[in-house]
């Protein structure tokens, strides 16, 4: 909300400079306006506050604020002009402005401090400690300026003769610094060890500025009293001058009304220059003491040299002993108060730490009390049972027992029990519900309370086995290589294995640390979401990838979060298992990079084939046309060899054109987007047979299959297979059989009675430009089956080759129905 308000105010002021809105710029005609660069700075502050989740951009805004404020302070310090004051706007309001367009030095200091507050990172302790005092100092500057406007103390918002801070500049600084301090407080409150650091870094500058601001009304009251006294002295001095002039018959040179003019001059210095007067003795001219607080103003001689009137004035604005004394006194007092506040905060922090540790210990004891396999009970001084765990009822088989005597065998009389109770701790064996048990009673402190422990002796051997089993389980958990921990509902680590403790460098279960403190800040939100969901979904692990701080650096881990409730209590616990995937992620990144490079290389090859096929066609067409023209124009002049050579050129051009067309088709087969539709495979096969004039010797058998796939891609596959069966079969009694059947795949078998292919060449025939016969014997590009293999792969199918029962080659195509996911891919 604060960021939106600051953004709106900054934009409004910038528009005010463009459209000449003095009321927006000054608020009051006697006050300093907010400069255009100041509004630009607040625009950067608003952007930085809105980009809290984008640390890099937020720091960039902070760096720009520091640069802008530092450049302005440099101009003031070294009396230079860097040309930035009116870089964006020609300023036409210069009330309380030393340089047109230049922001006040305290405003520039505020921007530097706000930029420092934007720079801190998420985990850097020193940067966090810088952010809090920077925002607190900005808050103090703003509060001091607003107090100066409220009390009319100009030195609180304007330093000497330099530009003054505008009142709405102070208000916006107050708003933004308060918002930043509130945000930092919320973050620090989540980590108790950093809360005291935030409080200490914030309170010291705040106390200093608050005490200084409290001095302003008193100082202003003293100044008003001095001004009233100065005006009274001016009236008295005027009357004395007039009386003395009349008494001696004197007048000022060349001006009979000189005494009145002198009185007006005195009033001017009283009202405008803030001077205080002292009246001197007649005839005793006194020179000014420039090393002290007195300054000689003027001397008005009369005709007689023996009568001179000298007036000395005291400048309350430049030499105010009262203000200086109060200033240093406030600094000393604020130092003592700040030290007292720090001491009180440290005491409170120590108390809160002790309370948190006590509460954590109490929670652990409750869990241990409820989950212990031994019977436990708390006894008051009268030996009444105040609290007991479920295991005690299970061992004693006496859920109605309310006193120690209900658990002791009747053979032990009360006198013997009284004797035992005088001991701080005693142990006795007894029988409860036919079971031998061991009861131990121990004193707790001086209040008379006792702790009762009941052990089932018949289960000691089982307990030893269970202890050995627990030891083996612990050893196994420590040897897994995973970082394991058990957390309570608040995320505090309850139990952790040794690899986790070694990785973080401490026994986290004893330190009372929350698991989220070891998660990378950018991943904490998603981790907390999964953690809360695990509390509601018991037994079902939730997974996410996040970075864990191990040995001082961030390591990528696969995290499994599982919620489970203890058997004997209502408390929910969460198991968190971290498995390092740093090497896996490195391999995945390397694989993705390799895939990207391979995809780029394939794209380059396909693009090259596409361009080459187009660029090479043009000279081929020219050569073919030229050979045809030679045959047409010179066929009667060419002998038989010449005509045969020209026909050979034409055939070679046709073959090259076919090769380029197939090359173009091959390049497009892997890049053209698929357009699946439902169509009949049998109808497609019949159409292709009609196209190749082979319907008379082609037999189509099998199911009438309707397939959802890309018809055009399957058309290319079948067309090349059928063309290959016709082209490479020299027999006059050609036979082609196409068998179609359905199942998980649509299977299409194309057989012929041609010469076939040796099994050694089954893989070779699918390679580009591969032919098993010279091209002078069989015209072809050698790309047909290569195009078939690429297109069938595009359809997520497969192709295989075998010997046909007809004596030739059998090519089997398996084409799966296309899914919506494959279509989207």
* pLDDT value of position 285: 34
Strand pairing class (294-301; 375-379):
unpaired
- Cβ(271)–Cβ(321) below 8 Å: no
Per-residue pLDDT at 744 exceeds 60? yes
CATH of the domain at 524: 3.30.450.20
Q: Specify whether 76 is located in the same domain as 172.
A: yes
Q: Which of 6-10, 622-626, 722-726 has the lowest mean pLDDT?
A: 622-626
Per-residue pLDDT at 712 exceeds 70? yes
Question: Which range has the top average pLDDT, 27-36, 127-136, 230-239, 407-416?
Answer: 27-36
Per-residue pLDDT at 318 exceeds 50? no
Question: Backbone dihedral region of 337: left (phi > 0), alpha (psi from -120 to 50 degrees) or beta?
Answer: alpha
**In angstroms, rounded to a whole number, what is the distance separating the alpha carbons of residues 754 and 397?**
92
Higher pLDDT, 491 or 279: 491
Q: Specify whether 409 is located in the same domain as 550.
A: no
Confidence of residue 70 (pLDDT cuts 50, 70, 90): very high
Confidence of residue 127 (pLDDT cuts 50, 70, 90): low
Q: Specify whether 603 is located in the same domain as 688.
A: no
Q: Which of 200-204, 263-267, 368-372, 568-572 has the lowest mean pLDDT?
A: 263-267
* pLDDT value of position 295: 38
Tokens of 341: 């506040």
Q: Specify whether 666 is located in the same domain as 688.
A: no
The mean pLDDT value of the chain amounts to 74
Half-sphere exposure of 202 (CA within 13 A, CB side): 22
Give the domain range for residue 775: 673-824
- Cβ(65)–Cβ(40) below 8 Å: no
Half-sphere exposure of 717 (CA within 13 A, CB side): 30
Confidence of residue 327 (pLDDT cuts 50, 70, 90): low
Encode pLDDT of 344-389 as tens digits. Answer: 666 666 777 677 777 777 777 788 888 887 888 888 888 888 888 8
Per-residue pLDDT at 727 exceeds 60? yes
Whether 265 maps to a domain, the answer reads no
Q: Specify whether 715 is located in the same domain as 773.
A: yes
* pLDDT value of position 664: 62
Encode pLDDT of 765-786 as tens digits. Answer: 776 655 655 544 545 556 667 7
* pLDDT value of position 277: 45
CATH of the domain at 741: 3.30.565.10
Per-residue pLDDT at 533 exceeds 70? yes
* pLDDT value of position 695: 83
* pLDDT value of position 212: 64
Domain boundary among 190, 209, 243: 190
**Tally of domains in the chain:** 5
Encode pLDDT of 466-475 as tens digits. Answer: 667 667 777 7
Per-residue pLDDT at 296 exceeds 60? no
Q: Specify whether 52 is located in the same domain as 176.
A: yes
Q: Specify whether 738 is located in the same domain as 642.
A: no
**In angstroms, rounded to a whole number, what is the distance separating the alpha carbons of residues 469 and 236?**
105
Encode pLDDT of 602-631 as tens digits. Answer: 777 667 666 766 666 677 777 877 877 887
Domain boundary among 518, 553, 580: 580
Q: Specify whether 628 is located in the same domain as 696.
A: no
Q: Which of 289-298, 408-417, 789-798 has the lowest mean pLDDT?
A: 289-298
Q: Specify whether 576 is located in the same domain as 682.
A: no
Strand pairing class (483-487; 572-580):
antiparallel
For the chain, percent of residues with pLDDT exceeding 70? 66
**In angstroms, rounded to a whole number, what is the distance separating the alpha carbons of residues 421 and 623?**
121
């Amino acid at each position: 909300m604060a960021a939106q308000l600051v953004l709106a105010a900054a934009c409004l002021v910038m528009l005010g400079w463009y459209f000449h809105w003095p009321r927006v710029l000054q608020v009051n005609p006697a006050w300093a306006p907010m400069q255009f660069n100041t509004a630009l700075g607040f625009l950067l502050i608003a952007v930085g506050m809105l980009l809290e989740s984008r640390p890099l951009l937020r720091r960039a805004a902070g760096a720009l604020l520091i640069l802008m404020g530092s450049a302005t302070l440099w101009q003031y310090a070294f009396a230079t002009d860097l040309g930035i004051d009116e870089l964006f706007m020609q300023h036409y309001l210069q009330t309380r402005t030393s340089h047109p367009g230049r922001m006040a030095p305290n405003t520039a200091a505020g921007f530097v401090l706000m930029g420092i507050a934007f720079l801190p990172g998420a985990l850097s302790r020193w940067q966090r400690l810088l952010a809090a005092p920077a925002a607190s100092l900005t808050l103090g500057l703003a509060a001091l300026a607003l107090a100066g406007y409220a009390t009319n103390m100009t030195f609180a918002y304007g330093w000497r003769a330099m530009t003054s801070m505008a009142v709405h500049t102070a208000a916006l600084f107050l708003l933004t610094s308060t918002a930043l301090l509130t945000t930092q407080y919320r973050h620090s409150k989540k980590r108790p060890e950093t809360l005291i650091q935030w409080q200490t870094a914030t309170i010291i500058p705040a106390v200093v500025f608050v005490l200084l601001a409290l001095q302003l009304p008193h100082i202003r009251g003293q100044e008003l009293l001095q001004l009233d006294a100065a005006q009274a002295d001016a009236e008295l001095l005027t009357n004395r001058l007039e009386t003395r002039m009349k008494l001696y018959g004197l007048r000022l040179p060349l001006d009979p009304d000189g005494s009145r003019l002198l009185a007006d001059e005195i009033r001017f210095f009283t009202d405008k220059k803030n001077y205080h007067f002292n009246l001197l003795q007649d005839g005793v001219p006194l020179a000014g003491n420039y090393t002290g607080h007195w300054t000689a103003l003027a001397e008005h001689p009369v005709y007689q040299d023996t009568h001179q009137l000298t007036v000395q004035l005291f400048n309350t604005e430049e030499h105010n002993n009262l203000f200086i004394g109060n200033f240093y006194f406030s600094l000393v007092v604020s130092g003592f108060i700040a030290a007292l506040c720090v001491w009180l905060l440290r005491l409170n922090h120590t108390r809160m730490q002790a309370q948190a540790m006590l509460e954590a210990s109490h929670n652990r004891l409750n869990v241990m009390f409820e989950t212990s396999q031994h019977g436990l009970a708390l006894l008051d001084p009268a030996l009444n049972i105040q609290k007991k765990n479920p295991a005690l009822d299970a061992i004693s088989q006496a859920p109605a027992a309310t006193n120690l005597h209900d658990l002791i065998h009747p053979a032990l009389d009360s006198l013997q029990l009284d004797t035992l109770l005088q001991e701080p701790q005693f142990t006795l064996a007894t029988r409860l519900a036919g079971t031998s048990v061991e009861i131990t009673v121990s004193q707790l402190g001086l209040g008379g309370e006792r702790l009762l422990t009941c052990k089932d002796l018949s289960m000691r051997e089982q307990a030893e086995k269970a202890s050995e089993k627990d030891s083996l389980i612990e050893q196994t958990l420590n040897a897994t290589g995973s970082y394991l921990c058990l957390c309570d509902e608040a995320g505090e680590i309850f139990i952790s294995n040794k690899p986790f403790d070694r990785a973080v460098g401490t026994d986290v279960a004893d330190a009372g640390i929350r698991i989220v403190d070891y998660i990378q800040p950018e991943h904490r939100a998603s981790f907390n979401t999964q953690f809360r969901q695990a509390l509601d979904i018991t037994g079902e692990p939730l997974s996410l990838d996040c970075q864990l701080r191990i040995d001082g650096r961030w390591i990528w881990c696969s995290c499994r979060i599982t919620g489970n409730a203890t058997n004997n209590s209502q408390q929910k616990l969460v198991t968190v298992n971290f498995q390092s995937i740093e090497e896996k992620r490195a391999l995945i990144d390397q694989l993705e990079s390799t895939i990207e490079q391979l995809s780029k290389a394939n794209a380059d090859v396909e693009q090259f084939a596409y361009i080459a096929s187009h660029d090479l066609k043009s000279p081929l067409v020219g050569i073919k046309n030229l050979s045809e023209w030679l045959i047409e124009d010179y066929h009667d002049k060419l002998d038989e060899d010449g005509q045969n050579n020209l026909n050979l050129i034409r055939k070679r051009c046709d073959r090259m054109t076919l090769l380029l067309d197939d090359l173009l088709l091959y390049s497009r087969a892997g890049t053209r987007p698929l357009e699946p539709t439902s169509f009949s495979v049998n109808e497609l096969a019949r159409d292709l047979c009609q196209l190749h004039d082979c319907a008379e010797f082609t037999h189509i058998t099998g199911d009438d299959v309707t397939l959802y796939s890309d018809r055009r891609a399957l058309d290319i596959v079948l067309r090349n297979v059928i063309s290959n069966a016709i082209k490479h079969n020299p027999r006059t009694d050609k036979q082609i059989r196409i068998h179609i059947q359905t199942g998980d795949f649509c299977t299409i078998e194309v057989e012929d009675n041609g010469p076939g292919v040796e099994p050694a060449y089954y893989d070779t025939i699918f390679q580009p430009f591969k032919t098993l016969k010279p091209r002078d014997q069989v015209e072809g590009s050698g790309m047909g089956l290569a195009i078939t293999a690429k297109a069938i792969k595009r359809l997520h199918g497969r192709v295989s080759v075998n010997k046909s029962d007809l004596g030739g080659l059998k090519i089997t195509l398996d084409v799966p129905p296309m899914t919506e996911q494959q279509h989207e891919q």
